[in-house]
Structure 1
Amino acid sequence: MHALLILDLQVGLFHGAEKPWRGEAMLEAVNTLLDKAHAVGAPVFLARHVGPEGSPLTPDAPLTRLIAELQLNGSERVFEKRRPNAFVGTGLVEALREYGVTGVVIAGMKTQYCVDSTCRAAGDLGFPAVLVADGHSCSDTPGLSAEAIVAHHNGTLAGAFCRVMNAQEIEF
């Protein structure tokens, strides 16, 4: 059984000054996956990236809240992470094993940080990953457009680290 793992769809990243490339389309893809996972009872995990007390990313800061546009039903498990790799120091591995999960479907933000790190780690930890090609994003950087970053990661991660599929193609 695959679990849906949604990374960092938080107010500060999604609604902040640097909007994600194709943000609304990404959100639509993620909500499609939420509907599919909920329909068959697949486990859903949502990560919130938080920082130390006194920073803008303290766990109770408004910027770290999940965005309201996510179509959640209350069955999801929300967890906090402090590193790009969602498996480090979070108990996620144990929770996935507890549910009998054999793979993860990964979506969210930011492509070149948390999405990349988590995709690369998943298989090594025994959870082959599917990266949702249309379900992750980031904003432009000084060196690359967000569109180029997403395309690069979809190509680079495919095969060696995970399968890459569009949300419509994924079944749980």
Structure 2
Amino acid sequence: MAQGLLVVDVQNDVMDVCAHAEDVVARIVSLVDRARSAGTPVVWVRHHDDGLVEGSDGWRIVPELVPAADEPIVDKQWGDSFADTDLVQRLTAQGITELVLCGAQTDYCIRSTLHGALVRGYPVTLVEDAHTTEDDEYRGEPVTADGLVDDLNRIASIARWPGAASRVVPAAEVVLA
């Protein structure tokens, strides 16, 4: 299996509202540096919609993370990074058959991309402490970002599809090869 690091929606306006954004970005910076040193491909995903306008400052990837010229950037409009994009073709072109997943937002794009990858046969390592979201509410009750991150980490630790499974690993323990 050939790994690829998939960095999802680490954009200015997205990270501005996310919990622990500075720490999560620092972990993703470390993952990107380690991937590049190991020769592991890095693939970037950027979201755009009516609230996150393509080309705006808020839409740009945070300044701490600069995609290299040879690293593909996939633009998307849906939570699942695979939906209506050329992500599968980009992964295939890079020889990527297994994903290391990090980014934002946990309860939307990370969750959807995790499931989208699994149903397409990609094993996924969700980086336990390198995804984030914002506090929310459900049925009038508050839901914390930390609770949403913990929930997805729990789900990803047991998620299985025919031919693919996911696991959860802290950033410091992710092996990129």
- Fold agreement, TM-score > 0.5: yes
**How far does residue 66 in structure 1 lie from its aligned partner after superposition?**
0.5
The residue number in structure 1 matching 2:163 is none
Q: Which digits, 9 at most, give the CA deviation of each residue in 1:32-54, with x for residues without a partner?
A: 11011100221111111012xxx
The residue number in structure 2 matching 1:58 is 53
Q: Which digits, 9 at most, give the CA deviation of each residue in 1:108-153, with x for residues without a partner?
A: 0000000000111212212111100000001111320111111111
How has the CA–CA distance of structure 1 residues 98 and 118 changed in structure 2, closer, same or farther, with 3 Å as cutoff? same
Q: Secondary structure at the match of 2:118?
A: helix
Q: Secondary structure at the match of 2:43?
A: strand
> What is the percentage of aligned positions where both structures have the same residue?
30
Distance in 2 of aligned mates of 1:35 and 1:71: 11
| 1:120–1:157 CA contact under 8 A, matched in 2 | no
User: More strand by proportion, 1 or 2?
Assistant: 2
The residue number in structure 2 matching 1:170 is 174
The residue number in structure 1 matching 2:132 is 137
User: Could you tell me the TM-score, scaled by structure 1's length?
Assistant: 0.91
Output aligned runs, 1:5-154, within 5 Å: 5-15=6-16, 18=17, 20-51=18-49, 55-70=50-65, 72-142=67-137, 143-154=142-153
Q: Secondary structure at the match of 2:29?
A: helix
Q: Secondary structure at the match of 1:68?
A: coil
Paired positions, count: 166
**How far does residue 71 in structure 1 lie from its aligned partner after superposition?**
5.2
User: Unaligned stretches of 5+ in structure 1?
Assistant: none
Q: Which digits, 9 at most, give the CA deviation of each residue in 1:41-90, with x for residues without a partner?
A: 21111111012xxx342311221111101154433211210000001111
The residue number in structure 1 matching 2:4 is 3
Letter matched to residue 166 of structure 1: P
Distance in 1 of aligned mates of 2:61 and 2:93: 24
User: Unaligned stretches of 5+ in structure 2?
Assistant: 161-165
Letter matched to residue 10 of structure 1: Q
Distance in 1 of aligned mates of 2:156 and 2:30: 22
Q: CA RMSD in A?
A: 1.3
Q: Secondary structure at the match of 2:73?
A: strand
| 1:10–1:65 CA contact under 8 A, matched in 2 | yes
